[in-house]
Amino acid sequence: MRIHQICARLKYGDAVTNQVMRIHEAATSWGWESHVYSTAHDDVMEEVNEGLPEYRRRYLKNREDLLVFHYSIYDRNHEFYDDSRNRRVFYYHNITPPEFFAPYDAFMAEYCRLGRDLIPSFRNCDFAISDSEFNREELLEAGFDAERTGVVPIIVDTGEMGGEYNRGLVEELSDGRVNVLFVGRIVPNKRVEDVVDIFAHYHHGINAHSRLFLVGTTLLMGYNQVIADAIYGRRLQGRAIMPGWPAGVTDADLRAYYRAAHVFITCSMHEGFCVPLLESMYFGVPILARESSAIPYTLGGAGICFREVDPPVVAEAIEELVTNEELRSLLAARGKARMEDFRPSSALRTLREYLSRFE
């Protein structure tokens, strides 16, 4: 069988790109002919992208071929999906609702709105895959046929997580202070300001020997300002730190932050999957997360969820997670067990089951 994958951009390290590449590798290993196309790519992915014109010229009208269309942001490349005569699989990675971006970036908000408005137009696909149950529910709300939808979780390479880490940084961070960690893009839907608020209560009220690391890339100047103001307004200078600002940290440093962390916290209001939860599970870091969007699905009980942000109470929960060894061990064990559900082999098996119906 010949399989084509189309996505908006191929960017090294990006979650959707990783998923595309895992599927590409798996399809090749199954003896299928696999091709990848995107509207844009970075230097690393240049060789992978065969170019959408090539797809149009050679494969667009092949009725026997299979097209997997990855959808994570609005892009004009949906025209290739519309024109394609292949059997079509719509792979939904979720698009952030525009209201989160509206106060900070009208352009981004408009792109999100366009992207979400377009979702119902993909109902005519032969099959729809999403990477979490939450995303699947969104598809059902958009009118997709439940019988022709399925879930294939993000394929996370645990081998990569166990890679080299910055040992010096781990030593530096293991100085007796409590390290509270947030990992993710610093964008409005992640509600990083809530994390800062909670940490302010923890730091000022419970344990001053603590610090917060906000690890991730930034996107919006206006929102960066909000976070900076939250940090200064709560008098957390030097206690709430954004390492590698604004471009984020290296993989080796990220692994070091996980290794040195005592608690992972996220207050995100909207997640399509939330890979950092899996990373925290891998490193045995207890998780404290807002019960929203795909988080409870991904967490699967391997962490503490809170529905409303009551900073003093959640701060007490951090203290509980830091000091209650029994609870930490329990959550670590549950995290390891939950990781098994996301093993690449089981995700790829499910994916093959879905795609094999087109063989």
Q: Does 269 bind other proteins (CB under 8 A)?
A: no
Smallest distance, Å, CB 190 to other proteins?
17
Residue 224 identity (one-letter amino acid): N
- Cα–Cα distance for residue pair 59/1, rounded to 1 Å: 13
Smallest distance, Å, CB 353 to other proteins?
29
Closest CA relative to residue 229, chosen from 254, 257, 193, 262: 193
- Cα–Cα distance for residue pair 220/180, rounded to 1 Å: 24
Among 119, 275, 314, 355, binds other proteins (CB under 8 A): 314
Residue 52 or 332 having the CB closest to other proteins: 332
Among 141, 157, 291, 353, binds other proteins (CB under 8 A): 291
Closest CA relative to residue 199, chosen from 216, 218, 177: 177
Q: Does 306 bind other proteins (CB under 8 A)?
A: yes
Q: Does 337 bind other proteins (CB under 8 A)?
A: no
Backbone dihedral region of 26: left (phi > 0), alpha (psi from -120 to 50 degrees) or beta?
alpha
Look-up of token digits 């022709």: 148
SS3 11: coil
Q: Does 312 bind other proteins (CB under 8 A)?
A: yes
137's tokens: 């529910």
Residue 342 identity (one-letter amino acid): F
Residue 76 or 209 having the CB closest to other proteins: 209
Residue 99 or 251 having the CB closest to other proteins: 99
Residue 2: alpha-carbon gap to chain centroid: 28
Smallest distance, Å, CB 232 to other proteins?
6
127-130 and 263-266: which strand pairing?
unpaired
Q: Does 211 bind other proteins (CB under 8 A)?
A: no
Residue 221 or 252 having the CB closest to other proteins: 221
Among 52, 114, 142, 206, binds other proteins (CB under 8 A): 206
Centre a 10 Å sphere on the Cβ of residue 60 and count the other Cβ atoms it contains. Answer: 17
Q: Does 103 bind other proteins (CB under 8 A)?
A: no
Which segment (48-56, 92-100, 192-200, 339-347) binds other proteins by CB under 8 A? 192-200
Among 40, 57, 124, 232, binds other proteins (CB under 8 A): 232
Among 114, 142, 228, 241, binds other proteins (CB under 8 A): 228
